[in-house]
Amino acid sequence: DADVTQTPRNRITKTGKRIMLECSQTKGHDRMYWYRQDPGLGLQLIYYSFDVKDINKGEISDGYSVSRQAQAKFSLSLESAIPNQTALYFCATSDPGKQTQYFGPGTRLLVL
Amino acid sequence: SQQGEEDPQALSIQEGENATMNCSYKTSINNLQWYRQNSGRGLVHLILIRSNEREKHSGRLRVTLDTSKKSSSLLITASRAADTASYFCASAAGANSKLTFGKGITLSVRP
């Protein structure tokens, strides 16, 4: 969905490196989310933000941090990447009144 | 930990047949949603059913919800090869209705 974009789409990095994944949306939604997906598993919530001044930890926030720079932008950082953070990462947005989520195309991250 | 569990984990059917997928969850919910994911791509919302609803239709999709059994089912009628994808249920609970996703069902529709 072009309304939610993620950069980069693919990334290879080395253990110990700091990397940032970016998400932008043009849907005008206040709520934004970061998930990771591992093969054969569902999505696990890393962090979520209900507005620019609100940041909340999800199920698996250890090793990750986020920044909500504006309503439209929500970045996920891996402070010191490790191989078990190799996964597919998704950003999503939602309108509080509708409760459905709109997902970006994903970022495939490989940590060597 | 994940609240939703789908069943079966994988389903293979012939084009034209119906596909039924089941989901169970553990706690009280505000609503239950189904999403579809084509290989390696983002999830797309299919349908939402509220906790006070028992059945809902959208095109070839029919979803049911049984809150007493904490379960939901998604029926895709007259399946097409293009329905081949992974399907996830997601339960929305709590004041903020955060979603908890199941592990997904892989549906393969043979032409």
Counting residues of chain A whose pLDDT is more than 90, the rounded percentage is 90
Pick from A33, A100, A109 the residue to mutate for testing the B interface (most B CBs within 10 Å): A100
Task: Look at residue B18 in the predicted model and tell me its pLDDT.
Answer: 97
Q: Which residues of B33-71 are buried (b: 16+ CB within 10 A; e: fewer)?
A: bbbbbeeebbbebbbbbeeeeeeeeeeebbbbbeeeebb
- Run of H or E residues at A110: strand A107-111
Task: Look at residue B1 in the predicted model and tell me its pLDDT.
Answer: 40
DSSP letters for A22-52? EEEE-S--SEEEEEEE-TTS-EEEEEEEEET
Distance from CA of B17 to the nearest CA of A (A): 25
Of A40, A92, A105, the CB nearest to B41: A105
Please determine, for residue A41, whether its predicted confidence score (pLDDT) is greater than 70. Answer: yes
Confidence of residue B2 (pLDDT cuts 50, 70, 90): very low
What's the angle, vertex CA A99, arms to CA B1 and CA B28, rounded to 5?
50
B45 touches chain A (CB under 8 A): yes
Distance from CA of B83 to the nearest CA of A (A): 18
Each residue's pLDDT tens digit, A44-72: 999 999 999 999 999 999 999 999 999 99
What's the angle, vertex CA B98, arms to CA A56 and CA B107, rounded to 5?
125
Tokens of A25: 């949306």
Q: How many Cβ atoms from other residues are within 10 Å of residue A9's Cβ?
A: 11
Q: Nearest chain A Cα to B98, which residue? A: A99
Please determine, for residue B31, whether its predicted confidence score (pLDDT) is greater than 50. Answer: yes
Cβ pair B102, B8 in contact under 8 A = no
Whole-number Å distance between alpha carbons of A102 and B67 = 26
Average pLDDT along chain A: 94
Q: How many Cβ atoms from other residues are within 10 Å of residue A104's Cβ?
A: 28
| Average pLDDT score over residue span A21-44 | 93
Each residue's pLDDT tens digit, B75-101: 999 999 999 999 999 999 887 778 999
Distance from CA of B43 to the nearest CA of A (A): 6
Give A43's contacts in chain B (Cβ within 8 Å).
43, 88, 101
Task: Look at residue A97 in the predicted model and tell me its pLDDT.
Answer: 78
